[in-house]
Structure 1
Amino acid sequence: MKNRPIDSQKKVYKRLLSYVWPYRAAFFLALFGNLLYGVVDAGFIKLFEPLLNKGFVDRDQNFIQWIPIMVISIFFVRGIATFLSTYFMGWVGRNVVMNFRQQMFQHLLKLPTYYYDRITSGEILSKITYNVEQVADACSDAITVMVRESCTAIALIAVMVSISWRLTLLFAITVPIMAGIMHFVSKRMRSVSAYIQESMGRVTHVAEEAIEGQKVIKAFGGQAYELSRFAKATQYNRHQEMKLIVTSAISIPMIQIVGAVALAFTVYLATLNPEHTMRTAITPGAFAAMITAMIALLKPIKQLTKVNSNIQKGIAGAASIFAFLDEETEIDKAKTSITSRMAGNIAFKHVSFSYKTQNPENPLASTLNQQTLDNISFEAKAGETIAIVGRSGGGKSTIVNLLPRFYEAQGQISIDGVDVKDIPLKDLRRNISIVSQQVTLFNDSIAKNIAYGTDATMEEIQEAAKLAHAFDFIERLSQGFDTVIGENGIRLSGGQRQRIAIARAILKKAPILILDEATSSLDTESERHIQSALDKLMSQCTTLVIAHRLSTIQNADRIMVIDKGKIIELGTHEELMASKGLYSSLRVMQYQERDFVPEIVNS
Structure 2
Amino acid sequence: MPVPGAPETKAKSFKPSLKRLLGRLRPHRMQVGLIVTLVTVSVVLNTLGPYILGRATNLIFDGVVGKNLPFPPGTTRDEAIAGVRASGQDTFADMLGAMNAVPGVGVDFDAVGRVLVLVLALYIGAAIFGWLQAFLLNLVINRTVKQLRADVEDKIHRLPLRYFDSTPRGDLLSRVTNDVDNVSQSLQQTMSQLLTSVFSVLGILIVMFWISPLLAVIALLTVPAAVVVTAQIAKRSKPHFVDQWKYTGIVNAQVEEAYTGHEIVTAFGRVAEVGAEFDRRNEQLYQSSFKAQFISGLIMPAIMFLGNLNFVLVALVGGIRVATGNLSLGDVQAFIQYSRQFSQPLTQIGAMANLLQSGVASAERIFEILDAEEQGKDPVEFAAPGEGRGRVEFDHVSFRYDPETPVLDGLSLVAEPGHVVAIVGPTGAGKTTLVNLLMRFYELDSGAIRIDGADITAMTRDALRDRMGMVLQDTWLFRGTIRENIAYGNEHATEAEILAAARDAYVDRFVHALPEGYDTVIDEEGSGVSAGEKQLITIARAFLAKPSILILDEATSSVDTRTELLVQQATAALRRDRTSFVIAHRLSTIRDADLIVVMEKGTIVEQGTHHELLERRGAYYRLYNAQFAAATAQV
TM-score, with length taken from structure 2: 0.86
Give the secondary-structure state (helix, strand or coil) at the position aligned to 2:373.
coil
1:486 aligned onto 2:520: no
Q: Answer with 15-24 or 96-105: which moved more.
A: 15-24
Partner of 1:290 in structure 2? 335
1:420 aligned onto 2:465: no
The structure with more radius of gyration: 2
Partner of 2:299 in structure 1? 251
Partner of 1:534 in structure 2? 571
Q: CA deviation at 1:458?
A: 0.8
1:551 aligned onto 2:588: yes
The one-letter amino acid of 2:125's match is V
Q: CA deviation at 1:326?
A: 1.7
Q: CA deviation at 1:539?
A: 2.6
1:432 aligned onto 2:468: yes
Q: CA deviation at 1:21?
A: 2.7
The one-letter amino acid of 1:39's match is V
Percent identical residues: 31
Give the secondary-structure state (helix, strand or coil) at the position aligned to 1:487.
coil
Partner of 2:382 in structure 1? 337
Q: Answer with 485-494 or 514-523: which moved more.
A: 485-494
Partner of 1:235 in structure 2? 283
Partner of 2:397 in structure 1? 351
Q: CA deviation at 1:184?
A: 3.3
Change over 3 Å in CA distance of 1:407–1:566 after alignment to 2: same
Q: CA RMSD in A?
A: 2.4
1:14 aligned onto 2:19: yes
Q: CA deviation at 1:3?
A: 6.2
Give the secondary-structure state (helix, strand or coil) at the position aligned to 2:25.
helix
Q: CA deviation at 1:321?
A: 1.4
Q: Confirm or deny: 8 A CA contact 2:507 2:536 kept in the other structure.
A: yes
Distance 2:554 2:144 in 1: 45
Q: Confirm or deny: 8 A CA contact 2:183 2:359 kept in the other structure.
A: yes
The one-letter amino acid of 2:47's match is A
Q: CA deviation at 1:118?
A: 0.7
In structure 1, the gaps of 5 or more residues are 357-367, 598-603
How many residue pairs get matched?
581
Q: Confirm or deny: 8 A CA contact 1:465 1:471 kept in the other structure.
A: yes
Change over 3 Å in CA distance of 1:528–1:596 after alignment to 2: farther
Partner of 2:616 in structure 1? 579
Give the secondary-structure state (helix, strand or coil) at the position aligned to 1:373.
strand
Partner of 1:122 in structure 2? 170
Give the secondary-structure state (helix, strand or coil) at the position aligned to 2:592.
coil
The one-letter amino acid of 1:51's match is A
- The correspondence of residues 169-568 of structure 1 with structure 2, limited to 5 A, is 169-272=217-320, 281-337=326-382, 343-356=389-402, 368=403, 370-410=405-445, 411-454=447-490, 455-568=492-605
Distance 1:539 1:280 in 2: 106
Partner of 1:94 in structure 2? 142
Q: CA deviation at 1:478?
A: 2.2
Q: Deviations over 1:362-403 (max 9, x none)?
A: xxxxxx452222221111111121111111121111111110
Change over 3 Å in CA distance of 1:147–1:267 after alignment to 2: same
Q: Deviations over 1:490-549 (max 9, x none)?
A: 321111111111111111111111111111111111111111001111233111111111
The one-letter amino acid of 2:478's match is F
Distance 1:34 1:190 in 2: 29
Q: CA deviation at 1:311?
A: 1.5
Q: Answer with 102-111 or 33-42: which moved more.
A: 33-42
Partner of 1:364 in structure 2? none
Q: CA deviation at 1:31?
A: 3.0
TM-score, with length taken from structure 1: 0.91
Distance 2:215 2:592 in 1: 98
Give the secondary-structure state (helix, strand or coil) at the position aligned to 1:371.
strand
Distance 2:159 2:243 in 1: 24
Q: Deviations over 1:314-363 (max 9, x none)?
A: 2222222122112122213322335677521111122222214xxxxxxx
Q: Deviations over 1:548-599 (max 9, x none)?
A: 1111111111211111222111122122111111211111122225x899xx
The one-letter amino acid of 1:300's match is P
Partner of 2:199 in structure 1? 151
Q: Confirm or deny: 8 A CA contact 1:561 1:568 kept in the other structure.
A: yes
From 17, 38, 45, the equivalent of 1:40 is 45
Distance 2:411 2:541 in 1: 30
The one-letter amino acid of 2:262's match is Q
Q: Confirm or deny: 8 A CA contact 2:378 2:461 kept in the other structure.
A: no
Q: CA deviation at 1:25?
A: 4.0
Distance 1:273 1:324 in 2: 60
Distance 1:314 1:235 in 2: 22
Give the secondary-structure state (helix, strand or coil) at the position aligned to 2:406.
coil
Distance 2:281 2:404 in 1: 29
Distance 2:240 2:404 in 1: 34
Q: Confirm or deny: 8 A CA contact 2:423 2:599 kept in the other structure.
A: yes
Q: Confirm or deny: 8 A CA contact 1:6 1:187 kept in the other structure.
A: no
Q: Confirm or deny: 8 A CA contact 1:49 1:285 kept in the other structure.
A: yes
Distance 1:326 1:431 in 2: 31
Q: CA deviation at 1:68?
A: 4.2
Q: Confirm or deny: 8 A CA contact 2:468 2:548 kept in the other structure.
A: yes
Q: Answer with 16-25 or 99-108: which moved more.
A: 16-25
Change over 3 Å in CA distance of 1:51–1:344 after alignment to 2: same
The one-letter amino acid of 2:485's match is N
Q: Deviations over 1:407-442 (max 9, x none)?
A: 112222221222211111111111111111111111
Q: Deviations over 1:168-190 (max 9, x none)?
A: 12222332332233333444444
Give the secondary-structure state (helix, strand or coil) at the position aligned to 2:480.
coil
Change over 3 Å in CA distance of 1:17–1:256 after alignment to 2: same
Distance 2:297 2:53 in 1: 33
Q: Confirm or deny: 8 A CA contact 1:29 1:84 kept in the other structure.
A: no
